[in-house]
Amino acid sequence: EESLQMWDLNKRLEAYLARVKFLEEENEVLRAEIQSTKSSPAGDSWRVKYEEELRALRDALDRAFREKCTAELARDNLYEEVQQVKSRCQKEQAAREEAKKQLSLSRKELEEERRAQIWLKERAVQLEKEVEALLEVHEEEKAGLDQEIASFSHSLESFRCAPVAFQPVEVEDYSKRLSEIWKGAVETYKAEVSQLEGSLCQAKESLWKAVEDNQQSQLQLQHLEKDLAGLKARKELLEESLAQQWQEQRGEAEKFQLAMEALEQEQQSLRAQIARVLEDRQQLMHLKMSLSLEVATYRTLLEAESTRLQLPAG
């Protein structure tokens, strides 16, 4: 039994010694690799490259932040310009409404002037008819007076005993009165006609003025419509450029975010690899310590067994 136990212990010892030797060799290899990675310029270059990449990403992030600030400033400026354009459009809309109101007032005045002109024309026709009637009445009265004068002259010739200077004086006075009345009527007619002509000229002038004001208001309205169309086009261009800048900025931010996430993942993977290497090394150390303890115990057992076997022989 003791020989079988010793044989089993020898087999186990050989297996443990072989495993300890293998682990020591692997540990030495890992130690050499760690030392080489620590002392070799490749590790430094990798670390420098990693730091350079981090520095470049930080610089890119700073540039993106600065570009974001500039884009925000541009956005604020564009918003102010849009607000100014809106206020200008509102002012132009108010001016357009005012021009429309003035146009409607001028149209009303034009209609009133046309009505006044029509009334003046009708009044002139009526006065012309009245003048023609007065002329006819005057002609009839004149013919009647001529007939009366002729009959009166015949009566004078028949009645020679009557005073000579009495009737002609009355006839002359009557004719003078009639001529004065006719002159007064003609003067009043001329005054009314001149007044009607003056009012007609004023109506024509006001009509031309209303037409010119209408044309000017239409031209101003056309200019305002053109300015409004230009401002609308400029507003659309500004909105398109703002949307494009926002899209570009969003795409760049997404790219930088993806790059940062990739670097963070790589950093986490490197940390995990380092942690695994350290854990493997720790496990190897613990295994080495346990194996060394087992070897020491086996050595003591072997020494005790050898001393026990040597004692009877002695």
Contact between 210 and 109 under an 8 Å Cβ cutoff? The reply is: yes
Confidence of residue 198 (pLDDT cuts 50, 70, 90): confident
Tokens of 142: 């004149």
DSSP H or E segment with residue 24: helix 2-39
Q: Which of 290, 40, 50, 285 is nearest to 277 (CA)?
A: 285
Task: From 5, 23, 28, select the one nearest 291 (Cα to Cα).
Answer: 23
Residue 40 Ramachandran class (φ > 0 left, ψ -120 to 50 alpha, else beta): beta
**pTM listed for this prediction:** 0.33
CA distances to 13, 15, 166, 307 from 300, rounded to whole Å, are 12, 18, 195, 10
Residue pLDDT, tens place only, 30-40? 888 878 777 76
d(CA 113, CA 121): 12
User: Residue 93 above 70 pLDDT?
Assistant: yes
Cα 17 to Cα 10, 269, 292, 313: the distances in Å are: 10, 36, 9, 30
Token pair belonging to 297: 């115990």
Question: What digits encode the pLDDT tens for the residues 110-158?
Answer: 888 778 778 877 877 887 787 788 778 777 877 777 777 777 666 655 5
The rounded mean pLDDT for the chain is 78
**Which of 123, 250, 251, 258 is closest to 199 using CA atoms?**
123
Which pair of tokens denotes residue 61? 């992030």
Query: How many whole angstroms separate alpha carbon 167 and alpha carbon 144?
Result: 17
Quick check: 53 and 270 in contact, CB under 8 A? no
**Do residues 145 and 178 touch, judged by C-beta distance below 8 A?**
yes
Task: Compute the distance between CA of residue 113 and CA of residue 21 in angstroms, rounded to an integer.
Answer: 125
DSSP class of 102:
H
- pLDDT single digits (tens) 266-310: 878 888 888 888 888 888 888 878 887 888 888 888 888 778 777
Distance CA 196, CA 254 (A): 85
Instruction: Please check whether residue 95 is in contact with residue 224, taking contact to mean a CB–CB distance below 8 angstroms.
Output: yes
Mean predicted confidence (pLDDT) in 71-79: 85
Q: Where would I find the beta strands (DSSP E) of 100-257?
A: none
- Provide, rounded to the nearest whole percent, the portion of the chain with pLDDT above 70: 88
Mean pLDDT in residue range 175-184: 72
CB 171 within 8 A of CB 145: no
Question: Given a cut of 70, is residue 202 above it in pLDDT?
Answer: yes
Task: Tell me if 203 sits within 8 A of 120, measured CB to CB.
Answer: yes
